[in-house]
């Protein structure tokens, strides 16, 4: 028996990086998966990797509330009630407290924080009767300050506490929903690999001496998606190669 047999999952930002790795792993473990992304150019290739019999793609801008209802509706129509939501979609801009632009600030927060807020809101709506797991991708930047990730720090720190608030609310309402956050270190994703000049510097920040493989983060998402994590809610799971232990 596979670890996600019979489960239905939605993975935002699912055409690459952590999202694609998680979607592939979820399907391998028996789930049906909807992947979403604002960019549909990589959708066909992602579905080929995941397995077309077990996955569909829905175009979505996670920062727009009107895009959320169709994602859940199309998933329910294709596969049945949703059990797992991985709020993975995110963007990165390097900035600092002195030179931050309001435009970029709003851009980062709209995707990285508003998108998670909306996903959590609709996840609760669609899971509160039958139960499920909401998994929010935060970051080590949600735990510690990084001088050149000002807006990203704010967004990911917000995801950390938003997650705890939602978990407590669901428990208070007796909804059978768990809400947890994952805090990866730097990994080989398109977001990080877009800055090859930083690779050696970023590797040295991790005591293990390397960047993560996306599957190493997906493994944690798999645990939280499965019934193995049935007593975990409102918690933060760090997968950072020792970064924050220093």
Phi-psi region of 35 (alpha: psi -120 to 50; beta: other; left: phi over 0): beta
Beta strand 32-37 pairing with 55-59: parallel
DSSP per-residue letters across 1-28: --TTTT-EEEEETTTSHHHHHHHHHHHH
Query: Which of 174, 137, 161 is closest to 20 using CA atoms?
Result: 137
Query: Does the annotation count 152 as an active-site position?
Result: yes
The span from the CA of 30 to the CA of 28, in Å, is 6
Tell me the HSE value of 29 on the side-chain side, using a 13 A CA sphere.
20
Between strands 8-12 and 32-37, the pairing is parallel
What whole-number distance in Å separates Cα of residue 21 and Cα of residue 11?
10
Catalytic entry in 122, 126, 150, 152: 152
Q: Where are the alpha helices (DSSP H) in 3-149?
A: 17-28, 43-50, 68-79, 102-109, 115-127
Distance CA(220)–CA(78), nearest Å, equals 26
Alpha-carbon distances of 72 from 11, 77, 79, 194, 232, rounded to whole Å: 11, 9, 10, 31, 24
The residue written with tokens 């040295």 in the block is 204
Active site residues: 152
């Amino acid at each position: 028996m596979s670890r996600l047999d019979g489960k239905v999952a939605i993975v935002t930002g699912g055409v690459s990086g952590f999202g694609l790795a998680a979607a592939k792993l979820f399907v391998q473990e028996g789930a049906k998966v909807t992947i979403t992304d604002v960019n549909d150019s990589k959708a066909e290739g992602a579905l080929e990797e995941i397995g077309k019999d077990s996955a569909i793609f829905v175009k979505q801008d996670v920062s727009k509330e009107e895009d959320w209802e169709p994602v859940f509706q199309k998933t329910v129509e294709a596969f049945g009630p949703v059990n797992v939501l991985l709020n993975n979609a995110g963007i990165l801009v390097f900035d600092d407290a002195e030179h931050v632009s309001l435009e970029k600030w709003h851009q980062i927060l709209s995707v990285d924080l508003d998108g998670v807020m909306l996903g959590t809101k609709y996840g609760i709506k669609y899971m509160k009767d039958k139960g499920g797991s909401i998994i929010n991708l935060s970051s080590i930047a949600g735990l510690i300050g990084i001088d050149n990730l000002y807006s990203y720090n704010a967004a990911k720190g917000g995801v950390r506490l938003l997650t705890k608030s939602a978990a407590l609310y669901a428990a208070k309402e007796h909804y059978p929903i768990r809400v947890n956050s994952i805090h990866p270190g730097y990994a080989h994703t398109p977001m990080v690999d877009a800055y090859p000049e930083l690779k050696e510097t970023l590797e040295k920040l991790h005591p293990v001496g390397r960047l993560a493989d996306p599957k190493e983060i997906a493994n944690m998402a798999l645990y939280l998606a499965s019934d193995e994590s049935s007593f975990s809610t409102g918690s933060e799971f760090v997968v950072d190669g020792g970064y924050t232990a220093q």
